[in-house]
Amino acid sequence: MNNQNMSDIIEAYLKKVLGTDEQVEIRRSEMANRFNCVPSQINYVINTRFTVQQGYLVESKRGGGGYIRIIKVKLLDEAEMLDMLIDVVGDKISQRNAFSIVETLYEDNMIAKREADLMLSAMEKSVLSLDSKLEHELRARILIAFLNNLKYEQS
C-alpha cells in the first residue's frame, strides 16, 4: 500500500464493499474518521471515481441523518448502455471523461485492450490539438462514432 495514495485506498475500499453488495451507503464523516482524512477527501473520491461514465449512480441526502449512496449500475442490455453513454457524451467531452468511458467499456468486457488503446490514442489532447472548445467537441464526435459502431456491431 505504500505506492497508493489516500484516494486510491478509499476507492479500493468502496469498490470492495460494492463488489459484494452492488450498493453501499456511507456517512462522509464516518468514512473520514475511518481513513483519518478530511471529509472533502471522501467527496473528491466519490466525485471523480464513481461517476456515471464509470458505471455508478451517486445519491446523497444532507443533514443529521444524511448519507451518500453509491450504486453500481448494471444495465440489462449492451445497446442500452451504449445509448446511455452517447447521451452522457453529448456535444462535448473532456479527455478525462472520455477516457473514463473507454475504461468502463473495457472493464465491462465490451471492448478489448487493443480497441481501448486505439480509441484512447485517437482522442488524446495532443492529437486533437485545437482550441479547447473545438477539441472537446471533436472528441465527443469521435467517441460517439465509436459508441455507435459498437452498438451496431451488437445487433
Domain CATH code at residue 106: 1.10.1200.150
In a domain, 107, yes or no: yes
Q: Write down which residue in 57, 72, 87 finishes a domain.
A: 72
Residue 112 pLDDT > 50: yes
Q: Report yes or no: 123 and 95 within 8 Å, Cβ to Cβ.
A: yes
Asked if residue 145 and residue 90 are part of one domain, the reply reads yes
Measured CA to CA, the distance from residue 20 to residue 104 in angstroms comes to 19
Residues 84 and 52 in one domain: no
Give the pLDDT confidence of 80-107 residue by residue, as tens digits. Answer: 778 888 888 999 999 999 998 999 889 8
Domain boundary among the residues 72, 97, 113 is at: 72
Does residue 88 share a domain with residue 67?
no
Among 39, 56, 72, the domain boundary falls at 72
What is the spatial distance between Cα 128 and Cα 61, in angstroms, rounded to a whole number?
A: 40
Name the least confident of 47-61, 63-77, 100-114: 63-77
CATH number at residue 15: 3.30.56.130
Q: Which residue range(s) make up the domain with 23?
A: 6-72
78: pLDDT confidence band, cut at 50, 70 and 90?
Answer: confident
Cβ within 8 Å of residue 61, ≥6 positions away: 67
Specify the DSSP class assigned to residue 110. Answer: S
| Sole residue written with cell 444495465 | 75
